[in-house]
């Protein structure tokens, strides 16, 4: 783990374009020619490494991005997809069939929650949702039918932290696959190095970082990725959530600055979290000593990338949260928008937006209060200036006790 640096691994890759360009050429084709019919047959059977058949299966541009993201996560290989959900859903459907069972963290992205709660039961796949920070509850939920343990490294939106090493031990003991969504903590945490079998990202967020596209990736063993892309039985191949080559080339260029961006996101979020906590506002940030999983997170991270850019403030009621968000947007401190990882701060009230798929009584049970604002802290150059302006909004609305 100590010698593993995800950003250096990306840096060490060397690609050239067709004419010696410093960026790889974009493969602008959906289908590929063969010099012999026999090679086409062999490629169809999956036996011709380096040959391309049809771009829903793979394309040179997508393979470049696959390779860079696999290097980042330290897995054998990867498979990019058209969205984060386009990575999550085929991965889980490849691992589970009718009669199988999943144990999942109860605090996960609302879309993933809805998929597990409402959609997969139609296919005979059941899920038990647990408090992922309580390893004894996780283990107690496992049945003879369980195939997958599912969690987010840092959960959306409550910023709970999964003890990936602890979960991996449980997964190994029960012969389960540990699937980790690492969207909130790229570079900071390397789940595969901590024992995760499969690491997923929504590329839409930090990795692309410019809020101009959706995208996803599954990072895993060659064997698993081959199974996902199998022409006869692979969920990615058959459901078709393929990323377009033009998009993968563009995500790849943004990936090159991820390390610089993550350091700044983390620096800014830490700065604000420390000050707002001192001001007496209920602040949740994994970098704060008051965070219940601070020590575990500290032991998991690649320290130079920090504790990430996600922070929550609880201002008491939805009315107050809405007023603060509208005022902050009016003062150009950020945008009232879902998603994360943009250069500008984004904020939303998760109970009524990204987690609205979760029924109210379950939101209450998991501690998702309606005064909670989720912040994706931006790349602001002068974060003290931002702090002063945000605090002025808080004072103007009388939100300080």
Which residues here bind ligand PLP, judged by CB under 6 A?
83-85, 109, 111, 152, 156, 181, 183-184, 202, 204, 214, 216, 354
Q: Strand 335-336 relative to strand 346-348: parallel, antiparallel, unpaired?
A: parallel
**What distance in Å separates the CA atoms of residue 93 and residue 121, rounded to the nearest whole number?**
12
Closest CA to 52 of 182, 242, 203: 242
User: Rounded to the nearest 5°, which phi and psi values hold at 79?
Assistant: -140, 115
Return the number of the residue (24 or 157) whose C-beta is nearest ligand PLP: 157
118 three-state secondary structure: helix
CB of 183 to ligand PLP, least distance (A): 4
Q: Which helix (H) or strand (E) holds 294?
A: helix 294-300
Instruction: For tokens 């080339």, name the residue.
Output: 249
User: What b/e readout covers 94-131, taking b as 16+ CB neighbours within 10 angstroms?
Assistant: bbbeeebbbbbbbbbbbbbbbbbbeebeeeebebbbbe
Torsion sign, CA atoms 49, 54, 55, 60: positive
- Alpha-carbon distance of 200 to 65, in angstroms, equals 14
Query: Closest residue (Cβ) to ligand PLP?
Result: 84
Report the distance separating Cα 386 and Cα 265, nearest Å: 13
Among residues 75, 70, 89, which one has the least CA distance to residue 252? 70
The tokens 């601070």 sit on which residue?
A: 294
Nearest approach, Cβ of 91 to ligand PLP (angstroms)? Answer: 11
The Cα 58–Cα 36 span in angstroms is 20
Measure the CA–CA gap between 371 and 322, rounded to whole angstroms. Answer: 9
CA distances from 64 to 69, 231, 280, 340 (A): 9, 21, 47, 24
């Amino acid at each position: 783990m100590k010698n593993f640096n995800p950003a250096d691994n990306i840096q060490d890759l060397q690609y050239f374009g067709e004419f010696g360009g410093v960026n790889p050429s974009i493969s602008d084709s959906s289908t590929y020619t063969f010099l012999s019919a026999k090679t086409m047959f062999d490629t169809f059977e999956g036996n011709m490494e380096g040959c391309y058949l049809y771009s829903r299966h793979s394309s040179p541009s997508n393979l470049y991005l696959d390779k860079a993201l696999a290097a980042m996560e330290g897995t054998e290989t990867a498979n990019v997809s058209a969205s984060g959900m386009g990575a999550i859903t085929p991965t889980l459907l490849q691992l589970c069939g009718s009669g199988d069972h999943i144990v999942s963290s109860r605090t996960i992205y609302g879309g993933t929650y809805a998929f597990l709660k409402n959609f997969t039961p139609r296919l005979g796949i059941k899920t038990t949702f647990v408090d992922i920070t309580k390893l004894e509850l996780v283990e107690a939920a496992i049945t003879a039918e369980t195939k997958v343990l599912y969690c987010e490294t840092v959960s959306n939106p409550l910023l709970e932290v999964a003890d990936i090493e602890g979960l991996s031990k449980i997964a190994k003991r029960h012969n389960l696959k540990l699937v980790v969504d690492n969207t909130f903590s790229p570079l900071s945490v390397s789940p595969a190095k901590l024992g995760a079998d499969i690491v997923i990202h929504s590329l839409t967020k930090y990795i692309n970082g410019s809020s101009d596209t959706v995208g996803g990736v599954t990072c895993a063993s060659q064997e698993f990725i081959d199974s996902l892309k199998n022409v006869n039985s692979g969920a990615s191949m058959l459901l078709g959530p393929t990323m377009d080559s033009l998009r993968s080339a563009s995500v790849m260029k943004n990936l090159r600055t991820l390390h610089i961006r993550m350091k700044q996101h983390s620096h800014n979020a830490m700065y604000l979290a420390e000050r707002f906590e001192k001001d007496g506002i209920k602040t949740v940030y994994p970098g704060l000593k008051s965070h219940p999983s601070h020590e575990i997170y500290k032991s998991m991270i690649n320290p130079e990338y920090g504790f990430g850019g996600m922070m929550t403030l609880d201002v008491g009621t939805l009315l107050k949260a809405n007023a603060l968000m509208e005022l902050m947007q009016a003062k150009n401190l950020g945008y009232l928008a879902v998603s994360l990882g943009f250069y500008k701060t984004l904020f939303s009230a998760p109970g009524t937006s990204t987690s609205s798929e979760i029924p109210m009584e379950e939101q209450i049970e998991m501690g998702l209060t309606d005064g909670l604002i989720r912040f994706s802290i931006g790349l602001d150059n002068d974060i003290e200036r931002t702090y002063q302006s945000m605090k002025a909004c808080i004072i103007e609305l009388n939100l300080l006790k």
